[in-house]
Amino acid sequence: MPISAPKSDLLTVAELIRLLRTWPGDHVVTLASDPEGNRVSALSRALGDGMYHQDSGPGTALYPMPEELLDDASLRRLFPRGVPEGARAAVVLYPTA
């Protein structure tokens, strides 16, 4: 159950760290599948990054980081329009299998 209302819809790494420091270090980190917390998945130790664009709709695709687009012709073919304006760098957390 949520312990505090977010200041905005987007949670930053700094805010996540601040919130996690209020919990015991041995708690497992999970991710709810919906706002009511009807299903949860444990998070793996795998982390990624990419560019998140909030206005891209449900099931939003994660865009490559700008430097990845510069270095990788195959990514430029997949994302011919590049990264949408206003996209923000994001950390990606993955569920366990």
**Every domain of the chain and the residues it spans:** 13-95
Chain position carrying tokens 């998070």: 43
User: So what's the pLDDT on residue 74?
Assistant: 96
User: So what's the pLDDT on residue 58?
Assistant: 65
User: Who contacts 51 (Cβ-Cβ below 8 Å, separation ≥6)?
Assistant: 62, 63, 64, 65, 66, 83, 87, 88, 89, 90
- Spatial CA neighbour of 89 closest among 53, 59, 55: 53
pLDDT at 1 over 80: no
Per-residue pLDDT of 33-82, as tens digits, reads: 888 888 899 999 999 999 998 775 666 778 999 999 999 999 999 999 99
User: So what's the pLDDT on residue 9?
Assistant: 72
User: So what's the pLDDT on residue 59?
Assistant: 64
User: So what's the pLDDT on residue 82?
Assistant: 92
User: So what's the pLDDT on residue 83?
Assistant: 92
